[in-house]
Amino acid sequence: MPLAGKQIVVGVGGGIAAFKAATLVRELGRRGAHVRVAMTHAATRFVGPTTFAGLTGSPVLVDLFEASQTGEAHVSLGAFADAMVIAPATMNLLARAAAGMADDAVLATAACARGPLFFAPAMHTRMWLRSATQRNIAALLGDGARILGPAEGALASGESGLGRMWEAEEIAEALSDALGASQDLAGVRLLVSAGPTLEDLDDVRFLGNRSSGKMGYAVAERAARRGANVTLVSGPTNLPAPAAVERVEVRSALEMRDALMARIAHTDALVMAAAVADYRPAERAAGKLKKTPGPRRLELVRNPDILAELGAARVVGGPLLVGFAVESEALVTRARGKLEAKHLDLIVANHAQVGFGGDDNQATLINAESEIELPRSSKGELADRILDAVRDKFSQAKQP
């Protein structure tokens, strides 16, 4: 069990989902973890400290100024934490955490936590979608925190939407993955692109492709597990953002180019898994194009080759560049040509008939020195093989 013997602090915020924290504490204990609890005063209005004391067999930290507390309780509790998860994390608690405040037992402990910090948000959909909340989430991710959820589902208001706290088993599984996984990419700033780009013809029609985004999302998710600080620039998909990953949503090739160019200077490695459209309409029609008799001609212009631009502009010590080549024939030959022409460190070559939309993929990893043909596997497993190669290349680049 990945959590066996791990010391985990659960910080309970003041939301209706606080009742789920009791189930989480029990689930973590069932998986072998040693659990302690800190609560905000607001949380005690939903669940009493006695509940958590009974579940953990340890006192619960609520009041930093409680006379019975000896020493600095939040400091010792933070030192205990191999990891700390705050669940539920309300809009208010997220805002105070992003601002660096430590004015209650939960945030004071979080400020002293020696292990990674996780937040499991829970709030109404409109609160979650507020730009202020999203700014705070981005700030916390930038500080190295990991965000678990939220999920879509029934809310306390009786409505349904995005904002429901993850279930205890999901949170425990995310902690198991994070604490059990190798942290060989810790501190690496990884930029990942994923999904298709859509090029609008008019207000209702577009040019697109069959990319589901699953490969790029798998790379982002596995990299975050391995300790990388991950930013995912994604075209339109139906996939949820991976935990502990900052997602930037774009639509067109030009928007994706702008998003990547704005971030590449602060990146150690780029994995370009997006299926970027090669062409876009020369003009976007206003409104909806009407049917006309006979055929219609559509003029297309080339989109920029983002990866080629980055490769041509890269200087010594610049980020590692990983590309993908989807071909229907002469796979390795054409992929190697792209590797050299675009000045890439690694290219992932796969057949057009395999991978699109599914959960499996089969690929050949190609660099200047070698070609490694991989067996068909899940996209998650392939993501780890790609990241192994990134790790090895990154280690070589750092050697004198």
* pLDDT at residue 270, as a whole number: 97
Of 130, 244, 135, nearest to 181 by C-alpha is 244
Which residue would you say has higher pLDDT here, 176 or 398?
176
* Local structure of 18: helix, strand or coil: helix
Contacts for 389 with CB less than 8 Å, ≥ 6 apart: 322, 346, 365, 367
Beta bridge partners of 171: none
In this prediction, residues 288-311 reach a mean pLDDT of: 92
Beta bridge partners of 121: 89
Torsion of CA 358, 232, 339, 318, to 10 degrees: -160
Q: What structural domains does the chain harbor?
A: 7-180 (3.40.50.1950), 189-398 (3.40.50.10300)
Which residue would you say has higher pLDDT here, 42 or 376?
42
* pLDDT at residue 181, as a whole number: 66
What is the rounded CA–CA span in Å between residue 266 and residue 249?
19
What is the rounded CA–CA span in Å between residue 35 and residue 32?
9
Alpha-carbon distance values, 86 to 20, 33, 299, 326 (Å): 12, 16, 53, 42
Of 191, 305, 318, nearest to 248 by C-alpha is 191
Side-chain-side CA neighbours of residue 200 (13 Å): 15
Q: How confident is the model at residue 355 (pLDDT cuts 50, 70, 90)?
A: low
Contacts for 101 with CB less than 8 Å, ≥ 6 apart: 107
Alpha-carbon distance values, 201 to 191, 197, 254, 257 (Å): 29, 13, 15, 19
Active site residues: 209
Q: How confident is the model at residue 95 (pLDDT cuts 50, 70, 90)?
A: very high
- The share of the chain scoring above pLDDT 90, in percent, equals 67
In this prediction, residues 176-197 reach a mean pLDDT of: 87
Q: pTM for the full model?
A: 0.62
Estimate the crossing angle of helix 306-313 against helix 253-263, to 10 degrees.
30
What is the rounded CA–CA span in Å between residue 9 and residue 82?
8
What is the rounded CA–CA span in Å between residue 308 and residue 54?
60
* pLDDT at residue 397, as a whole number: 60
* pLDDT at residue 98, as a whole number: 95
Q: How confident is the model at residue 69 (pLDDT cuts 50, 70, 90)?
A: low
Residue 45 has pLDDT above 60, yes or no: yes
Q: How confident is the model at residue 169 (pLDDT cuts 50, 70, 90)?
A: very high
In this prediction, residues 29-56 reach a mean pLDDT of: 95
pLDDT tens-digit series, residues 250-277? 999 999 999 999 999 999 999 999 999 9
Q: Where are the beta strands (DSSP E) in 75-187?
A: 83-89, 117-121, 146-147, 151-154, 160-164
194-213 in b/e form (b: 16+ CB < 10 A) is: bbbbbbbbeeeebbeeebbb
In this prediction, residues 371-399 reach a mean pLDDT of: 83
Mean pLDDT score of the chain, rounded to an integer? 90
Of 118, 35, 123, 36, nearest to 73 by C-alpha is 36
Of 149, 140, 141, 138, nearest to 171 by C-alpha is 149
Q: Under a CB-based contact definition with an 8 Å cutoff, are residues 33 and 3 in contact?
A: yes
Among the residues of 188-330, which ranges form H helices? 214-225, 253-263, 306-313
Q: Are strands 360-361 and 377-378 parallel, antiparallel or unpaired?
A: antiparallel
* pLDDT at residue 150, as a whole number: 92
pLDDT tens-digit series, residues 364-377? 999 998 999 988 88
